A and B are shown apart, each in its own frame.
Chain A
Amino acid sequence: MTVKTAPNRSQWLRLLGIALLIGTLVTTLEILTRERIVASQTSAALDYLRQVTGPDDQGAAITFENWPIPNRQLGLLGLSEGDEMHIALRAGQPIAAIVPSISNAGYGGAIQLLVGIDFTGRIIAVRVISHRETVGLGDKIEIAKSDWIEAFSKRSLSDPAAKYWAVKADGGIYDQFTGATITPRAVVNQVAATLQFFADERAALAARGTSQANPEARE
């Protein structure tokens, strides 16, 4: 085998040739599939948004907009700069905020949540977007595995009172799982933090919604 000799110029050129050929092919495919991948991602994200905004019962179509999250709140939500929240609007009026929120207190690492909150500050629904909790123990936070996560529906920062916003093991009202307290604790605390965020920002969000819906109303 020629393996032991040092590479000569023609071998480097061949490597370069193959790299160029492959680079071209992969780039072409990337361009061809880009649109479809973005479409798939958006439709998957929309599926989640619909799940956390609830059924569209009042006829008028719900649209979604991305609004910025103030930098001072990023820490509370476990997000990084540039992350946005989604606002559901009906006839131009904001009706719900869908806030991404990440807990780093999971057993297996980050737990990514999407929390849907209506403008009275009540939770519509919470969904787990991704997590690395143990299969069979911590994964009951997924709606596909258990309806545990539905316990948050209709809850708000005052219902239950702050000291009961915890798993039962910590004196709160939310169930933990048998043999797995870390995962539900992380989720409950993160949902509470997300409600706190919304309470802080609600007025600003509502004001932005009003000025956006009828810009002339301010005159």
Chain B
Amino acid sequence: MNPPNDNYSACHGLWREHPVLVQLLGLSPLLAVTTTLANALGLGLVTLIVLLGSSVSCSLLRRQLNGALHLPMLLLIIAAWVTCAELLVRAYAYPLAQALGIFVPLIASNCVILNRAQTIATRHPIGTAALDATVIGSGFLALLLIVGAIRELFGRGSLFADMHLIFGDIARDWLWQPFDGDYTLLILSMPAGAFLLLGFLIALKNFLDSWLLPSSESPPEKPIAGSKRVRTTGKIN
């Protein structure tokens, strides 16, 4: 049995241990679906719900989820939530399901979810697990929205395109096109541009960190038990 980790603090997930900006997890959905704000919002919300569902179930079942087979069990639970989410999106928001395509089922392979299940949900009571999932999911959603907004605005010269996929017909005239005519900046529409943009956002975050938290005052690093990540942009353990 893994002992609860008392060092845990949920709000770190929004900044200091942001799943993407610091841990570089979940990059593929970030790069692939953020061509518009609407897609980013859709995928971010579905991911948040899947993360919440899987964290709560992993926490509820945490006494069973250990031993040599804990990984397949976690994957089963996550895949189940993803399948449920996909069925519901297809049933109640079919056009959104079409727009997001393969990226809804691929949420199952988003490492952020497995990472939270392994490091937090299976080691903490349900309240903590739910809080953690909400915070991490919101941090992920927020970053998707930022990247989606920048890519849509400067890549395609529009904002709020396709919002009717999520909000229904009233959203059809939310579309805002500040630049004239055929403005497009191809690189931002492509995954490579998203990758560059993400790099700039990470640099910005690191700059803000060094500016807001002079190194002498930076809080002591708290290790995350069980974390084996080596590819990070900051010190998480």
A residues in contact (CB < 8 Å) with B: 1-8, 11-12, 14-15, 17-19, 22, 25-26, 29-30, 33, 36-37, 40-41, 43-44, 130, 134-137
Contacts and interface: CB of A to CB of B under 8 A. Distances in A.
Chain B contact residues (Cβ within 8 angstroms of A): what range?
20 to 34
A95 B67 CA distance: 65
B131 interface: no
A18 B76 contact: yes
Given A2-B67, A44-B98, A136 B156 contact: yes
B190 A37 contact: no
A14 B2 contact: no
A41 B94 contact: yes
A3 B155 contact: no
A11 B71 CA distance: 12
B190 A135 contact: yes
- Give the one of A15, A17, A36, A41 with max B CB within 10 A: A15
B73 A18 contact: yes
A36 B91 contact: yes
Interface string B24-43: 00000000000100000000
Contact of A135 (B2, B90, B95, B156): B156
A12 B91 contact: no
Contacts of A11: 67-69
Majority SS at the chain B contact face = helix
Contacts of B88: 29, 33
Interface string B186-199: 10011000000000
B94 A40 contact: yes
Contact of A19 (B68, B76, B94, B186): B76
**Can you list the 6 inter-chain pairs with the closest CB atoms, starting with the nearest?**
A40-B94, A36-B91, A33-B91, A7-B68, A135-B189, A136-B184
Interface of B: 2, 35, 61, 64, 66-70, 72-73, 76-77, 80, 83-84, 87-88, 90-92, 94-95, 98, 155-156, 184, 186, 189-190, 226
Nearest to B90: A37
27 contacts: A1-B226, A2-B66, A2-B67, A2-B68, A3-B68, A7-B67, A7-B68, A11-B68, A11-B69, A15-B72, A15-B73, A15-B76, A18-B64, A22-B77, A26-B80, A29-B87, A33-B88, A36-B91, A40-B94, A41-B94, A43-B94, A44-B94, A44-B95, A134-B186, A135-B155, A136-B184, A136-B186
B40 to A, nearest CB: 14
Given A135-B156, A136-B155, A136-B184, A33 B73 contact: no
B90 A22 contact: no
A43 B98 CA distance: 13
Given A1-B2, A18-B77, A22-B77, A40 B90 contact: yes
Contacts of A12: 69
A14 B90 contact: no
A67 to B, nearest CB: 25
Contact of A22 (B35, B69, B80, B186): B80
A79 B26 CA distance: 35
Nearest to B64: A14
A33 to B, nearest CB: 4
A217 to B, nearest CB: 41
A162 to B, nearest CB: 32
B196 to A, nearest CB: 16
A22 B66 CA distance: 17
Contacts of A19: 76
